[in-house]
Structure 1
Amino acid sequence: MAKKSLSEMSFLDHLEELRWLLVRSTIAVVLLAVVVFFFSDFIFDQVVFGPTKVDFVTYRFFCEASHYLGFADTICIEELPFTIQNTSMEGQVNVFIWMGITAGFILGFPYILWELWRFISPALYENERKYAKVFIFTASLLFFMGVLFGYFVIVPMSVNFLASFSISTVVKNDINLDSYIGMVKTSVLAGGIFFELPIIVYLLTKLGLIKPSFLQNTRRYAIIIVLIISAIVTPPDVVSQITVAVPMLLIYEMSILISRIVYKNQLKAQNG
C-alpha cells in the first residue's frame, strides 16, 4: 500500500508516524547501548571516571598552560580530595544501565536526526528537502562538539571545583555515585544541546517565531548568564573561566549571524 501524501494524512496519521519515529529511535538507542555494554570496563574506568584522576588530559593541559603563561603551578591539579561511594543496593546496576542508554543516545543522535528529518520533510519545499544530508551532518557535528566540550571542559572544571570545595576540615568529601554520574550526564548532554543552538535558531527564524533583533536585544542577558555559569563550574581563576565562557559566547554570536542571514533571505523573497 502506497504511503499517503501530506495532504491526505489526518492528525491521527501524523501521530502514528510520530509514534513509529519514537519506536525506531528507541530501538536504535537500546541496540547501541547493548554494544556499549561490551566495552563497559573501558567506558567506566577511562571515560566516565577519567575526570576524577589528576592525570586527566584537561588537568594536564591547564597545568602546561599555567607554566607557559608564567603562573607557575597555580592552576595545576595535584590532588582531588574526594572518593566516590555507592550507598544503595541497586545503585551500580542503575548506573550501568543508564550510562549505557546515555551513550547509546549520543552515538545514535545522527540516526535520530535522520528519523526527525523524515518526519518533517513532507512539510518542506522540494528545494529544502535536498539539504537533508547537510542538516544531519551539521547538527550531528555541533552536538558531538558540545558533548566533547561538556566532557573535556565542564565536567573536569566542575569536579575540580566542587570536589575540592570545603566549608570545614571536619567534613570529608565522599561523593555519592548517583550524584557524580548525574553531573557527568547533565554536563555532557547540556553541552550537546547548547551547541545545537544555531540549528534551533535557524529553524525558529525560518518559522517566523524569532527575529535577529530579539537575539541581539537579549545578548547582554546571555553574556551575564554565560559568565555566571562559567564562574560556578570553574575554579576562581581567569583562564578556566575564559575557557568555558568563550565557546558558549561564540555559539550565541553564530546563532545571531545565522538568524540575520535567514531573516534577510526571507525579506528578499517577500519583496522579490
Structure 2
Amino acid sequence: MPWLPERRTVQNHRGHGICLTVRASRTNAGRTVMFYKLKHNATRRKDQVQATGRGSLEAAAKAATHMENTMMKRLYLALAILIGAPSLAAAATVAVSTGNVNLRAGPSTGYPVVTVVPAGTRITTYGCVSGYSWCDVSFGAYRGWVSASYIQVVYRGNPVIVTPVVAPAVGLTVVAYNRAYWDTYYAAYPWYGRWGHYYRPGYPVAPAARVTSHDRAVTCTGDSCTATRTTTGIYGGSASQSRTCANGECNATRNVVGPYGGTASRTRNCSTNSQSCTVSRTGPAGGTRTRVFQR
C-alpha cells in the first residue's frame, strides 16, 4: 500500500508555500518538493514555481523577473505606437455628404459604383485630385471617390462645400489615383479585372459638360398640349424641338444648327385615325427624304 506524502506549510524571505516530502516507505529518506508563491519576483501574484532547493528557486525567480521586464518593454512600445497614431491620421478630414451620392471606384462618373452614401452621412476625406473636383473618401468599410460638390466641411466655423479655395485651408491636399489604389481596395469586386476599361490616363477626372444651356416647357390649352425644348452646345451649335398633340394627332418639328451655320430638320406627323406616321428629313445640303409608316 502506498504511503501518503507529508505536507507542511513553510515560509521564508522569498515567499510562502506548501512543502511536500515524498518517501518510499515510512523509514526511507524522501525527496522534498516545494511550491512557492513568489512575491514581486513573479509575473503574477499567484504564479507558482517548483523548486527542489534554494538555488533552483532563485533561478526561477530571475526567469520570472526577466519575463516581466520583456512584457513591460512590449507594453511601452505599444503605447508609443498609440501615442503616435493621431499624427498619422491628421491628414484625414471629417466631412458630411450633402445628398445621396454614388461612391465610385475612381475620380469620374465613368468608374463603377462601390456603394451609395446617404445624405447627411459622416465621411472621412483623405484628399482630392488636382482641381479638387473629386475627393478620396471612406464611408464605413467602403473606400472610393465622391464629387467634391457633395462634400461639406467646416470652414471658419461654418459648413461649406469643398472648393479649390476651401480644400487646402481644411487640410485637404492633392492625392494621386493609380493602379495601386485600385488593387488595394477593389480586388474583391466583380469588375476588378477591368481596370484597363475604366482607367483613362488622359482624363483623370470627369470631362466637362458638352451642353451649356438646356430649356424645356409644356403648355396645355383645352384638349391641346405643346412641348418645346432647346439646347445649346459648347461650340455654338443649337437644337430646338416642338411637339403639339390634339384630337388624336401629334406634330413634331426638330431643327438643328451646327457651329458653322449648317442646318438640318425633321418633321413627324402621326394620326390615330389613319394609324400612320409621316417623317421628313432635310439635310444641310437641302436634300429631303420622306417616309410613311403604316400600322
Range into which the TM-score falls when normalised by the shorter chain: under 0.3
Q: State which structure, 1 or 2, has the greater radius of gyration over its C-alpha atoms.
A: 2
Give TM-score scaled by structure 2 length: 0.18
TM (normalized to structure 1)? 0.20
Higher normalized helix content (fraction of residues):
1
Structure having greater relative contact order (Cα 8 Å, sep ≥ 6): 1
